[in-house]
Amino acid sequence: MAELKAVYHEEFLRGFGEKVRAVYGAFDVDGFVAAVLEAPWETLELKARMRRITERLGQFLPSRYEEALAVLFAVEEGCTGLPYLFFPDFVEVYGQAEEDWELSMQALARFTKLSTAEFAVRPFLLREPERMMAQMTIWAQDENEHLRRLASEGCRPRLPWGQALPMFKRDPAPVLQLLELLKADPSLYVRKSVANNLNDIAKDHPQLVIETARRWLGVHPLTDWIVRRGCRTLVRQADPEVMQLFGYADTAEGDALVTQASLSAAPATVRIGENCELQYALQIREGEQVKIRVEYGIDFVKKRGVSRKLFLLSDKTVPGGATLSGVRTHKWADLSTRRHYPGEHRIVLLVNGQEAAAAAVMLES
Protein backbone atom coordinates (compact mmCIF):
# COMPACT_ATOMS: atom_id res chain seq x y z
CA MET A 1 0.00 0.00 0.00
CA ALA A 2 2.97 2.33 0.44
CA GLU A 3 3.01 3.35 -3.23
CA LEU A 4 -0.53 4.71 -2.84
CA LYS A 5 0.81 7.68 -0.92
CA ALA A 6 1.64 9.32 -4.26
CA VAL A 7 -2.08 9.64 -5.07
CA TYR A 8 -2.43 12.21 -2.30
CA HIS A 9 -1.17 15.20 -4.28
CA GLU A 10 -2.47 18.75 -4.64
CA GLU A 11 -4.66 17.97 -7.65
CA PHE A 12 -6.37 15.10 -5.80
CA LEU A 13 -6.89 17.21 -2.68
CA ARG A 14 -8.28 20.13 -4.63
CA GLY A 15 -10.62 17.90 -6.60
CA PHE A 16 -11.93 16.37 -3.39
CA GLY A 17 -12.25 19.81 -1.82
CA GLU A 18 -14.40 21.01 -4.72
CA LYS A 19 -16.72 18.03 -4.24
CA VAL A 20 -17.10 18.98 -0.60
CA ARG A 21 -17.72 22.66 -1.35
CA ALA A 22 -20.46 21.68 -3.82
CA VAL A 23 -22.52 20.32 -0.91
CA TYR A 24 -21.11 22.48 1.88
CA GLY A 25 -20.56 26.00 0.60
CA ALA A 26 -18.55 27.14 3.63
CA PHE A 27 -15.75 24.70 2.90
CA ASP A 28 -12.45 26.57 2.33
CA VAL A 29 -10.82 24.54 -0.44
CA ASP A 30 -7.65 26.63 -0.61
CA GLY A 31 -7.23 26.61 3.14
CA PHE A 32 -7.84 22.86 3.35
CA VAL A 33 -5.31 22.06 0.62
CA ALA A 34 -2.68 24.34 2.13
CA ALA A 35 -3.21 22.87 5.60
CA VAL A 36 -2.88 19.30 4.33
CA LEU A 37 0.32 20.06 2.41
CA GLU A 38 2.08 21.76 5.30
CA ALA A 39 5.59 20.47 6.02
CA PRO A 40 6.65 17.77 6.61
CA TRP A 41 4.11 16.45 4.08
CA GLU A 42 6.74 15.16 1.63
CA THR A 43 8.27 12.84 4.21
CA LEU A 44 4.96 11.36 5.38
CA GLU A 45 4.09 7.78 4.43
CA LEU A 46 0.64 6.57 3.37
CA LYS A 47 -1.10 6.21 6.72
CA ALA A 48 0.40 9.44 8.03
CA ARG A 49 -0.84 11.29 4.94
CA MET A 50 -4.28 9.77 5.34
CA ARG A 51 -4.40 10.82 8.98
CA ARG A 52 -3.25 14.34 8.05
CA ILE A 53 -6.19 14.63 5.61
CA THR A 54 -8.55 13.33 8.29
CA GLU A 55 -7.36 15.84 10.85
CA ARG A 56 -7.57 18.76 8.44
CA LEU A 57 -11.09 17.73 7.46
CA GLY A 58 -11.94 17.92 11.14
CA GLN A 59 -10.77 21.54 11.09
CA PHE A 60 -12.63 22.62 7.94
CA LEU A 61 -15.88 20.64 8.20
CA PRO A 62 -18.63 21.54 10.71
CA SER A 63 -17.45 21.07 14.29
CA ARG A 64 -20.39 18.83 15.24
CA TYR A 65 -19.60 15.23 14.34
CA GLU A 66 -23.03 14.41 12.94
CA GLU A 67 -22.99 17.51 10.73
CA ALA A 68 -19.51 16.71 9.42
CA LEU A 69 -20.59 13.14 8.65
CA ALA A 70 -23.61 14.46 6.78
CA VAL A 71 -21.24 16.30 4.44
CA LEU A 72 -19.18 13.15 3.85
CA PHE A 73 -22.36 11.15 3.25
CA ALA A 74 -23.37 13.69 0.63
CA VAL A 75 -20.17 13.22 -1.39
CA GLU A 76 -19.42 9.54 -0.73
CA GLU A 77 -20.87 8.23 -3.98
CA GLY A 78 -18.07 9.79 -6.02
CA CYS A 79 -15.33 8.82 -3.57
CA THR A 80 -14.51 5.16 -4.01
CA GLY A 81 -11.35 3.09 -3.70
CA LEU A 82 -8.41 2.94 -1.31
CA PRO A 83 -7.44 6.63 -1.71
CA TYR A 84 -10.59 7.45 0.24
CA LEU A 85 -9.60 5.48 3.33
CA PHE A 86 -9.77 8.78 5.18
CA PHE A 87 -13.57 8.50 5.19
CA PRO A 88 -13.62 5.59 7.69
CA ASP A 89 -10.54 7.10 9.33
CA PHE A 90 -12.65 10.19 10.06
CA VAL A 91 -15.01 7.93 12.01
CA GLU A 92 -12.09 6.41 13.88
CA VAL A 93 -10.72 9.82 14.90
CA TYR A 94 -13.88 11.76 15.62
CA GLY A 95 -16.57 9.14 16.27
CA GLN A 96 -15.39 7.40 19.44
CA ALA A 97 -17.75 9.16 21.87
CA GLU A 98 -20.39 6.96 23.48
CA GLU A 99 -23.21 9.13 22.22
CA ASP A 100 -21.94 8.70 18.65
CA TRP A 101 -21.75 4.89 18.69
CA GLU A 102 -24.79 4.13 16.52
CA LEU A 103 -23.98 6.87 14.03
CA SER A 104 -20.38 5.70 13.80
CA MET A 105 -21.49 2.12 13.13
CA GLN A 106 -23.77 3.36 10.35
CA ALA A 107 -20.91 5.40 8.89
CA LEU A 108 -18.44 2.50 8.99
CA ALA A 109 -20.99 0.26 7.27
CA ARG A 110 -21.48 2.85 4.52
CA PHE A 111 -17.84 3.73 4.03
CA THR A 112 -16.56 0.15 3.93
CA LYS A 113 -18.56 -0.40 0.74
CA LEU A 114 -16.58 2.41 -0.92
CA SER A 115 -13.06 1.53 0.27
CA THR A 116 -12.66 -0.46 3.50
CA ALA A 117 -13.19 0.20 7.19
CA GLU A 118 -10.98 -2.70 8.32
CA PHE A 119 -8.52 -0.34 10.01
CA ALA A 120 -11.09 2.04 11.48
CA VAL A 121 -13.00 -0.67 13.40
CA ARG A 122 -9.96 -1.68 15.40
CA PRO A 123 -9.94 1.13 17.98
CA PHE A 124 -13.59 0.30 18.67
CA LEU A 125 -12.61 -3.35 19.14
CA LEU A 126 -9.75 -2.45 21.44
CA ARG A 127 -12.01 -0.29 23.60
CA GLU A 128 -15.14 -2.47 23.69
CA PRO A 129 -14.35 -5.87 22.17
CA GLU A 130 -17.56 -7.64 23.17
CA ARG A 131 -19.82 -4.85 21.98
CA MET A 132 -17.94 -4.44 18.72
CA MET A 133 -17.83 -8.16 18.02
CA ALA A 134 -21.60 -8.25 18.51
CA GLN A 135 -21.87 -5.57 15.82
CA MET A 136 -19.51 -7.44 13.54
CA THR A 137 -21.54 -10.61 14.01
CA ILE A 138 -24.50 -8.71 12.61
CA TRP A 139 -22.38 -7.54 9.68
CA ALA A 140 -21.21 -11.13 9.11
CA GLN A 141 -24.81 -12.03 8.28
CA ASP A 142 -25.51 -9.07 6.01
CA GLU A 143 -26.39 -9.58 2.36
CA ASN A 144 -23.64 -7.15 1.30
CA GLU A 145 -20.26 -8.85 0.78
CA HIS A 146 -18.35 -5.74 1.83
CA LEU A 147 -19.92 -5.84 5.28
CA ARG A 148 -19.34 -9.58 5.62
CA ARG A 149 -15.74 -9.10 4.62
CA LEU A 150 -15.38 -6.24 7.13
CA ALA A 151 -16.60 -8.56 9.88
CA SER A 152 -13.73 -10.95 9.20
CA GLU A 153 -10.98 -8.58 8.10
CA GLY A 154 -11.59 -6.12 10.92
CA CYS A 155 -10.97 -8.69 13.66
CA ARG A 156 -7.84 -10.29 12.19
CA PRO A 157 -5.38 -10.45 15.11
CA ARG A 158 -2.41 -9.50 12.90
CA LEU A 159 -3.90 -7.37 10.12
CA PRO A 160 -1.07 -5.87 8.03
CA TRP A 161 -0.95 -2.06 8.33
CA GLY A 162 -3.52 -2.24 11.14
CA GLN A 163 -3.33 -2.08 14.91
CA ALA A 164 -2.70 -5.48 16.45
CA LEU A 165 -5.48 -6.96 18.59
CA PRO A 166 -3.61 -8.46 21.56
CA MET A 167 -6.78 -9.83 23.19
CA PHE A 168 -7.43 -11.97 20.11
CA LYS A 169 -3.80 -13.00 19.92
CA ARG A 170 -4.23 -14.35 23.44
CA ASP A 171 -7.69 -15.84 22.91
CA PRO A 172 -9.06 -16.07 19.35
CA ALA A 173 -12.24 -17.86 20.41
CA PRO A 174 -14.51 -14.85 19.65
CA VAL A 175 -12.93 -14.54 16.20
CA LEU A 176 -13.39 -18.23 15.40
CA GLN A 177 -16.99 -18.02 16.53
CA LEU A 178 -17.57 -15.23 14.00
CA LEU A 179 -15.71 -17.09 11.24
CA GLU A 180 -18.10 -20.01 11.65
CA LEU A 181 -20.73 -17.78 10.04
CA LEU A 182 -18.51 -17.17 7.00
CA LYS A 183 -16.82 -20.53 6.45
CA ALA A 184 -18.80 -21.24 3.25
CA ASP A 185 -19.39 -17.68 2.09
CA PRO A 186 -20.28 -17.44 -1.63
CA SER A 187 -18.03 -14.39 -2.11
CA LEU A 188 -14.35 -15.01 -2.90
CA TYR A 189 -13.66 -11.55 -1.45
CA VAL A 190 -15.00 -12.75 1.89
CA ARG A 191 -13.45 -16.22 1.73
CA LYS A 192 -9.97 -14.74 1.20
CA SER A 193 -10.43 -12.68 4.36
CA VAL A 194 -11.61 -15.69 6.38
CA ALA A 195 -8.58 -17.66 5.21
CA ASN A 196 -6.23 -14.79 6.07
CA ASN A 197 -7.82 -14.54 9.50
CA LEU A 198 -7.23 -18.26 10.10
CA ASN A 199 -3.65 -17.84 8.95
CA ASP A 200 -3.18 -15.00 11.45
CA ILE A 201 -4.52 -17.19 14.27
CA ALA A 202 -2.25 -20.06 13.23
CA LYS A 203 0.81 -17.95 14.03
CA ASP A 204 -0.16 -17.84 17.71
CA HIS A 205 -2.39 -20.91 18.10
CA PRO A 206 -1.40 -23.51 15.50
CA GLN A 207 -3.08 -26.41 17.25
CA LEU A 208 -6.37 -24.54 17.47
CA VAL A 209 -6.32 -23.88 13.73
CA ILE A 210 -5.43 -27.52 13.03
CA GLU A 211 -8.44 -28.60 15.10
CA THR A 212 -10.63 -26.12 13.22
CA ALA A 213 -9.28 -27.38 9.90
CA ARG A 214 -10.12 -30.99 10.80
CA ARG A 215 -13.62 -29.96 11.76
CA TRP A 216 -14.23 -27.81 8.67
CA LEU A 217 -12.73 -30.03 5.98
CA GLY A 218 -15.38 -31.82 3.96
CA VAL A 219 -18.20 -29.51 5.08
CA HIS A 220 -18.35 -27.66 1.75
CA PRO A 221 -16.01 -27.20 -1.25
CA LEU A 222 -15.81 -23.46 -0.51
CA THR A 223 -14.86 -24.25 3.09
CA ASP A 224 -12.15 -26.64 1.91
CA TRP A 225 -10.64 -23.78 -0.11
CA ILE A 226 -10.63 -21.54 2.98
CA VAL A 227 -9.02 -24.24 5.12
CA ARG A 228 -6.23 -24.90 2.64
CA ARG A 229 -5.41 -21.21 2.27
CA GLY A 230 -5.81 -20.56 5.98
CA CYS A 231 -3.24 -23.24 6.81
CA ARG A 232 -0.63 -21.97 4.36
CA THR A 233 1.85 -20.86 7.05
CA LEU A 234 1.58 -24.24 8.75
CA VAL A 235 2.17 -25.92 5.39
CA ARG A 236 5.25 -23.77 4.80
CA GLN A 237 6.47 -24.82 8.23
CA ALA A 238 5.83 -28.44 7.21
CA ASP A 239 3.81 -29.07 10.36
CA PRO A 240 3.44 -32.87 10.37
CA GLU A 241 -0.26 -32.85 11.27
CA VAL A 242 -1.09 -30.33 8.56
CA MET A 243 1.01 -32.08 5.94
CA GLN A 244 -0.83 -35.30 6.71
CA LEU A 245 -4.17 -33.50 6.71
CA PHE A 246 -3.63 -32.28 3.15
CA GLY A 247 -2.22 -35.55 1.87
CA TYR A 248 1.46 -34.71 1.47
CA ALA A 249 3.81 -37.66 1.44
CA ASP A 250 5.26 -38.48 4.85
CA THR A 251 9.00 -37.81 4.98
CA ALA A 252 9.50 -39.39 8.39
CA GLU A 253 8.64 -43.02 7.70
CA GLY A 254 9.84 -45.71 5.31
CA ASP A 255 12.08 -45.05 2.31
CA ALA A 256 13.40 -41.57 1.72
CA LEU A 257 10.99 -39.50 -0.36
CA VAL A 258 13.79 -38.04 -2.50
CA THR A 259 16.47 -40.40 -3.78
CA GLN A 260 18.57 -37.82 -5.65
CA ALA A 261 18.62 -34.02 -5.65
CA SER A 262 20.80 -31.16 -6.81
CA LEU A 263 20.71 -27.37 -6.63
CA SER A 264 23.08 -24.84 -8.20
CA ALA A 265 23.23 -21.06 -8.45
CA ALA A 266 24.82 -19.09 -11.29
CA PRO A 267 26.56 -16.79 -10.98
CA ALA A 268 27.68 -17.71 -7.50
CA THR A 269 28.60 -14.09 -6.76
CA VAL A 270 26.13 -11.27 -7.45
CA ARG A 271 25.62 -7.66 -6.42
CA ILE A 272 22.54 -6.33 -4.67
CA GLY A 273 20.05 -5.52 -7.42
CA GLU A 274 21.26 -8.26 -9.78
CA ASN A 275 19.74 -11.66 -10.59
CA CYS A 276 20.95 -15.23 -10.50
CA GLU A 277 19.55 -18.47 -11.91
CA LEU A 278 18.78 -21.38 -9.64
CA GLN A 279 18.78 -24.78 -11.32
CA TYR A 280 17.32 -27.76 -9.49
CA ALA A 281 16.63 -31.43 -10.13
CA LEU A 282 15.26 -34.20 -7.95
CA GLN A 283 14.03 -37.76 -8.22
CA ILE A 284 11.18 -39.20 -6.21
CA ARG A 285 11.31 -42.70 -4.76
CA GLU A 286 9.77 -45.54 -6.73
CA GLY A 287 6.32 -46.81 -5.84
CA GLU A 288 2.94 -45.16 -5.47
CA GLN A 289 2.18 -41.61 -6.51
CA VAL A 290 2.92 -38.97 -3.89
CA LYS A 291 1.89 -35.40 -3.22
CA ILE A 292 4.88 -33.11 -2.91
CA ARG A 293 5.60 -29.45 -2.24
CA VAL A 294 8.90 -28.26 -3.66
CA GLU A 295 10.34 -24.95 -2.48
CA TYR A 296 13.63 -23.18 -2.26
CA GLY A 297 14.56 -21.32 0.87
CA ILE A 298 17.10 -18.55 1.27
CA ASP A 299 18.76 -17.79 4.57
CA PHE A 300 18.91 -14.02 4.12
CA VAL A 301 21.73 -12.27 5.92
CA LYS A 302 20.37 -9.59 8.24
CA LYS A 303 21.96 -6.97 10.45
CA ARG A 304 21.83 -9.59 13.17
CA GLY A 305 21.78 -13.22 12.18
CA VAL A 306 19.82 -14.74 9.29
CA SER A 307 16.15 -15.10 8.37
CA ARG A 308 14.79 -17.78 6.05
CA LYS A 309 12.27 -16.97 3.33
CA LEU A 310 10.60 -19.71 1.27
CA PHE A 311 9.67 -19.56 -2.42
CA LEU A 312 7.32 -22.11 -3.98
CA LEU A 313 8.50 -24.07 -7.02
CA SER A 314 5.87 -26.78 -7.34
CA ASP A 315 2.93 -28.25 -5.42
CA LYS A 316 1.39 -31.33 -7.04
CA THR A 317 0.94 -35.09 -7.06
CA VAL A 318 3.55 -37.03 -9.06
CA PRO A 319 4.01 -40.73 -9.90
CA GLY A 320 6.59 -42.78 -8.07
CA GLY A 321 10.03 -42.50 -9.64
CA ALA A 322 9.23 -39.10 -11.17
CA THR A 323 12.04 -36.68 -11.99
CA LEU A 324 11.44 -32.96 -11.57
CA SER A 325 13.75 -30.21 -12.72
CA GLY A 326 13.63 -26.55 -13.55
CA VAL A 327 15.27 -23.15 -13.53
CA ARG A 328 14.14 -20.17 -11.49
CA THR A 329 15.47 -16.63 -11.74
CA HIS A 330 15.91 -15.01 -8.34
CA LYS A 331 16.10 -11.24 -8.05
CA TRP A 332 18.33 -9.79 -5.36
CA ALA A 333 16.80 -6.30 -5.54
CA ASP A 334 15.71 -4.52 -2.37
CA LEU A 335 11.96 -4.44 -1.73
CA SER A 336 9.82 -2.42 0.65
CA THR A 337 9.50 -5.62 2.71
CA ARG A 338 13.07 -6.90 2.34
CA ARG A 339 16.44 -5.21 2.50
CA HIS A 340 19.50 -7.14 1.39
CA TYR A 341 22.83 -7.24 3.18
CA PRO A 342 26.16 -8.46 1.77
CA GLY A 343 27.44 -11.87 2.77
CA GLU A 344 27.06 -15.55 1.93
CA HIS A 345 23.43 -16.59 1.53
CA ARG A 346 22.69 -20.28 1.92
CA ILE A 347 20.00 -21.61 -0.44
CA VAL A 348 18.23 -24.92 0.17
CA LEU A 349 15.93 -27.10 -1.92
CA LEU A 350 13.05 -28.35 0.21
CA VAL A 351 10.65 -31.20 -0.50
CA ASN A 352 7.73 -31.40 1.94
CA GLY A 353 9.74 -29.29 4.33
CA GLN A 354 12.87 -31.45 4.29
CA GLU A 355 16.18 -30.23 2.87
CA ALA A 356 17.17 -32.21 -0.21
CA ALA A 357 20.07 -30.13 -1.60
CA ALA A 358 21.89 -26.85 -0.96
CA ALA A 359 23.92 -24.16 -2.67
CA ALA A 360 25.26 -20.70 -1.78
CA VAL A 361 25.42 -17.23 -3.28
CA MET A 362 27.84 -14.54 -2.20
CA LEU A 363 25.99 -11.23 -2.24
CA GLU A 364 28.06 -8.07 -2.62
CA SER A 365 27.02 -4.45 -2.17
Q: Give the confidence band of 254 by pLDDT, cuts at 50, 70, 90.
A: low
Q: Is 185 helix (H, G, I), strand (E, B) or coil?
A: coil
Query: Is the pTM higher than 0.95?
Result: no
Per the CB < 8 A criterion, the answer to whether 280 and 313 are in contact is yes
Domains of the chain, CATH where assigned:
1-117 (no CATH), 258-364 (2.60.40.10)
Per the CB < 8 A criterion, the answer to whether 223 and 184 are in contact is yes
Say how far residue 72 (Cα) sits from the centre of its chain. 28
For residues 314 and 293, give the distance between their C-alpha atoms in angstroms, rounded to a whole number: 6
Average pLDDT over residues 45-52: 95
Per the CB < 8 A criterion, the answer to whether 280 and 321 are in contact is no
Average pLDDT over residues 229-254: 91
pLDDT of residue 291: 97
Asked whether the CA dihedral 339, 345, 348, 352 is positive or negative, the reply is: negative
pLDDT of residue 5: 85
With a cut of 80, say whether residue 310 has pLDDT above it.
yes
Beta bridge partners of 186: none
- Predicted confidence (pLDDT) per residue in 91-110, tens digit: 999 999 999 999 999 999 99
Q: Tell me how far CA of residue 302 lies from CA of 96, 298, 345, 360, in angstroms.
A: 41, 12, 10, 16
Q: Tell me how far CA of residue 13 lies from CA of 6, 39, 62, 73, 90, in angstroms.
A: 12, 16, 18, 18, 16
